[in-house]
Copies of this chain bind each other. A is one copy, B any other.
Amino acid sequence: MALRHTKQKEFVSRFLEASFSHPTAYDVALAAKEEGISLGITSAYRILNSLVEEGKAVKVPSVDGMVHFDFKRDDDKSHIHFVCQKCGRIFDLREEKSFASFLQADKRFQIGSLQDIIIYGICEDCQKKK
């Protein structure tokens, strides 16, 4: 019952690690096809969800009604997510120490990484549009 290595799994891991745009399952499936790799939406979801279960990626539920995925990075490359409630874009906030100290203080709530902190608000561009 050994896990099998497939083109699809390999592509999804590689693509997510190289991506900083928080893709959805559809984004990943589309990117695969553009690279000539067959990848159905079903398999995209299955592979992405298994990466989350393995702790290699995090889910970012957005106001657009879709779950976006983000590769989990080393502490020094980790970041807080900011989701704009108007345009739905997701920004990375490379963050100060105030959060880190909070994370370690409260043992009741186990937080994997800064990337599991999501702030919903209005981004700079959408503030201007008013």
Which A residues have a C-beta under 8 Å from some C-beta of B? 58-59, 61-63, 82, 91, 93, 95-96, 98-99, 101-102, 106, 108-112, 116-124, 127
**Is there contact, CB below 8 Å, between B120 and A108?**
no
Residues of B within 8 A of A63 (CB): 59, 61
Known: A109-B91, A116-B120, A120-B118. A61 touches B62 (CB 8 A): yes
A121 near B127: Cβ-Cβ < 8 Å: no
Copies in the complex: 2
Interface of A is mostly: mixed
Complex CA gap A112/B85 in Å reads: 11
Task: Report yes or no: B118 in contact with A119, Cβ–Cβ below 8 A.
Answer: yes
20 cross-chain CB contacts under 8 A: A61-B61, A61-B63, A82-B109, A91-B109, A93-B106, A93-B109, A95-B102, A98-B99, A98-B101, A98-B102, A108-B123, A109-B119, A109-B124, A110-B122, A110-B123, A111-B119, A116-B119, A116-B121, A118-B118, A118-B120
